[in-house]
Amino acid sequence: MDDLRQKYLDAIAGAGDEAAIEDVRVQALGKKGEISLKMRELGQMSAEERQAMGPKLNALKDEITSALSARKASLADAALEERLAAEWLDVTLPGRPRPRGTIHPVSQVTEEITAIFADMGFAVAEGPQIESDWYNFDALNIPPEHPARQEHDTFFMARAAGDNRPPHVLRTHTSPVQIRAMQGTGAPIRVIAPGRVYRCDYDQTHTPMFHQVEGLAIDRDISMANLKWVLEEFCRAFFEVEGVELRFRASHFPFTEPSAEVDIRCSWEGGTLKIGEGNDWMEILGSGMVHPKVLAAGGIDPDEWQGFAFGMGIDRLAMLKYGIPDLRAFFDSDLRWLRHYGFSALDMPTLHGGLSR
Residue stretches of the annotated binding site for Mg(2+) = 257
CA distances from 205 to 108, 139, 238, 320, 326 (A): 19, 28, 21, 12, 7
The residues with which 324 forms a beta bridge, in sequence order, are: none
Q: Where are the alpha helices (DSSP H) in 186-286?
A: 224-239
In contact, 154 and 172? CB cutoff 8 Å: yes
CA distances from 244 to 215, 233, 238 (A): 20, 9, 11
* CB atoms closer than 10 angstroms to residue 308: 24
Instruction: State the helix-helix crossing angle for 314-322 and 105-119, rounded to 10 degrees.
Output: 100
Cα distance between residue 68 and residue 227, in whole Å: 92
Element (H, E) at 313: strand 306-313
CA distances from 153 to 187, 255, 333 (A): 33, 18, 25
Known binding-site positions: 257
347, 222, 352: which is closest to 288 by C-alpha? Answer: 222
